[in-house]
A and B are shown apart, each in its own frame.
Chain A
Amino acid sequence: MASISLTIKLSEHLENFMSTEATIRNYILENYLFTEDQSALDSADSFLDKGILDSTGILEVIYFLEDEFGIKVEDTEMVPENLDSVNNIVAFIGRKRQ
């Protein structure tokens, strides 16, 4: 029983992770790269280094995350470790939800 429940939890977790990642990826692709082509963005790409976002872009992303995922991004959390790539954002949302 325990192993079945763990498997279900893990798959739920994976589904959550996948949908969070897809939501964020699609938002960035649609609004900053203006395309549906998934290959245009690697989830590890740095928004800063690749010139994907400028300083107002990052604020828009924060407002999007707050709306979409019902979280509050504190000023002190506005650091590249949390926000500078799709992967970083997914991990950040995961931590916020815990």
Chain B
Amino acid sequence: MQATLVNRFRESVAKHPDSLAVADSRQRVSYQVLSDLVGKVSHYLMSSGLQKGDRVAMVVANSAEYAGIFYGIWSAGGVTVALNTQAKAKDIINWVTHSDAKWLFMDRRHPEYKGVYEAGGEFTLIDVGGDDTGESDNINVDWQRIVDLEPANPRMLPGRSDLASIIYTSGTTGNPKGVTLSHGNLCANIESILAYLELRAEDSILNVLPFYYSYGNSILHTHLAIGGSMILQNSLLYPHRVMEKMSEEAVSGFSGVPSTFALLLSRVNIGDYDLSKLRYITQAGGPLAPALADRLSTALPHTELFIMYGQTEASARLTYLPPGMLEKKRGSIGIAIPNTTIEVRNKTDEVTAPGETGEICASGENIMQGYWKDQERTDQVLKDGWLYTGDLAHTDADGYLYIDGRSSDMIKSGANRISPKEIEEVIQELEDVHEVAVIGSPDEMLGEIIKAFVVLKQGSELKKRNIQRHCKNNLAIYKIPKSIAFIEELPKTASGKIKRFLLK
């Protein structure tokens, strides 16, 4: 039997049928119950004509259903396309079309459901968690119809070389960027993470990270592969509640991006909660200020803090800083995870000397297959089996990595990687806008906030609010510029390229 995440999940079910797999706001689901749901989803898809390698999209918030649908798609031989739940209908339709997904699982209560339903397309829409109205037709299948099915045995378990998932990252509407990962890519990365975190079946995590991003995705799979438990809390809006839940459930793990910790530490006194069972914390998704790391270590002296770094293109993880080195290697993202090789290379592709900045390059079984239907973009980042991450770093004499910046203009705000171009395209749609440039502006809480520089047409009286409203109507909430500056003209090079660094 090939080592894949589907097989590892099946082993977890066999070993720990009654253990808690997922607890969400409505239910606590054991491995056996989750396995039954996986079988039902798989049954539905197979009987609906799914062929091996067919894409199946989902817009589902973190929940037991998310895990059931995800593994149900895999067990039926399909490829998962898990989409950002904050996206607007037009983006969802765009990704579903781009991936040629034939099914879309989506909650009827999602604010964009109506827009997706009305736009329609060459796919079957399945209401997840919708009320049973008894109405099912080709474009609208009730969840109840799936729940009522008998769990099916997998028809064709995927192998390591089979495509497993497409994850859409920071592309633009006209040019979506879908990272393709094989079952081998994901399984290799998950096994490396399990090794350095030393996760066991007894571990449980309180998870606030969305599963549709690669960081959250890795939390889902590590726990299901080992027989661990996930307690889901879908919002950080009320940090006090998150802490209460961590204490109440006596979890052994917690994961966040820098803004998660900035938010918690700003409004919560961690010492007020019993977190004696908390064995480890992981952090990825951008640099954590050493001062925040210090505050965490002081507040939780018995908890190990893992600083990590990765990319969706690497399945999730590339490096980690062993907790024992936190003090000695302050500000470092650590060393390569097991079974991955990292090199820092200069512009002529030579490995840099310690202290010299270059681009982080990585090789290993976790590196993606490429971008979906985009050979040109793939060739830009995958060369001779190496992933060129676009992140700049240097090593110290012991080989520990330190991030120096990014070679691209991508904005990193909270857990989100955002293409400035996508926002510029939307603002440019406004008739009164002559030109626009969008950048990431430093922010203590979010790492960066989105700032737009707008040049209005002569005589225009367009207000900041008009631009933000247009963005709200056309972009996910986290892509709305917090700050808008009206200027006379954009600084440009002689060839007309915007000099973004002058705007920062």
Instruction: Give the B-binding residues of A (Cβ under 8 A).
Output: 30, 33-35, 47-48, 50-51, 53-56, 58-59, 75-76, 78-80, 83
CA distance A33 to B263 in the complex (A): 23
Chain B residue numbers with a CB within 8 Å of A34 are 465-466, 468-469, 472
Chain B nearest Cβ from A50, distance in angstroms: 7
The answer to whether A59 touches B263, judged by C-beta atoms less than 8 angstroms apart, is yes
CA distance A78 to B414 in the complex (A): 21
User: How many of chain B's residues have a CB under 8 angstroms from any CB in A?
Assistant: 25
Residue of A nearest to B463 (CB): A34
CA distance A76 to B241 in the complex (A): 9
Q: Does B15 contact A (CB under 8 A)?
A: no
Chain B residue numbers with a CB within 8 Å of A78 are 238-240, 267
Residue of A nearest to B112 (CB): A51
The answer to whether B266 touches A59, judged by C-beta atoms less than 8 angstroms apart, is yes
Chain A residue numbers with a CB within 8 Å of B468 are 34
Chain A nearest Cβ from B90, distance in angstroms: 16
A-facing residues in B211-252 (Cβ within 8 Å): 235-241
Residue of A nearest to B268 (CB): A75
The answer to whether B465 touches A35, judged by C-beta atoms less than 8 angstroms apart, is yes
The answer to whether A35 touches B469, judged by C-beta atoms less than 8 angstroms apart, is yes
The answer to whether B238 touches A79, judged by C-beta atoms less than 8 angstroms apart, is yes
Chain B nearest Cβ from A93, distance in angstroms: 18
Chain A residue numbers with a CB within 8 Å of B478 are 54
CA distance A47 to B238 in the complex (A): 12
Choose among A34, A48, A54, A80 the residue with the greatest number of B CB atoms under 10 Å from its CB: A34
CA distance A27 to B155 in the complex (A): 56
Contact of B111 among A35, A50, A56, A59 (CB under 8 A): A50
Interface string of B445-467 (1 = CB under 8 A from A): 11000000000000000000110
Instruction: Give the A-binding residues of B (Cβ under 8 A).
Output: 86, 111, 235-241, 259, 263, 266-269, 414, 445-446, 465-466, 468-469, 472, 477-478
User: A34-B465, A75-B269 are known contacts. Are A53 and B111 too (CB-CB below 8 A)?
Assistant: no
Chain A residue numbers with a CB within 8 Å of B259 are 55-56
Chain A nearest Cβ from B121, distance in angstroms: 23
Chain B residue numbers with a CB within 8 Å of A80 are 237-238
The answer to whether A55 touches B237, judged by C-beta atoms less than 8 angstroms apart, is yes
Contact of B263 among A50, A51, A56, A76 (CB under 8 A): A56
Residue of B nearest to A76 (CB): B240
Given A34-B468, A80-B237, A80-B238, 14 other A-B residues pairs in contact with their CB atoms under 8 A: A34-B466, A35-B465, A35-B469, A51-B477, A54-B237, A55-B237, A56-B414, A58-B237, A75-B240, A75-B268, A76-B240, A78-B238, A78-B240, A79-B241
CA distance A62 to B216 in the complex (A): 28
Chain A residue numbers with a CB within 8 Å of B111 are 50-51
The contact sample of 16 A-B pairs, CB cut-off 8 A, is A30-B465, A33-B469, A34-B472, A47-B237, A48-B235, A51-B111, A54-B477, A54-B478, A55-B263, A56-B445, A59-B267, A75-B267, A75-B268, A76-B240, A79-B240, A80-B238
Choose among B111, B414, B468 the residue with the greatest number of A CB atoms under 10 Å from its CB: B468
Chain A residue numbers with a CB within 8 Å of B466 are 34
Chain B residue numbers with a CB within 8 Å of A53 are 237
Contact of A51 among B86, B446, B465 (CB under 8 A): B86
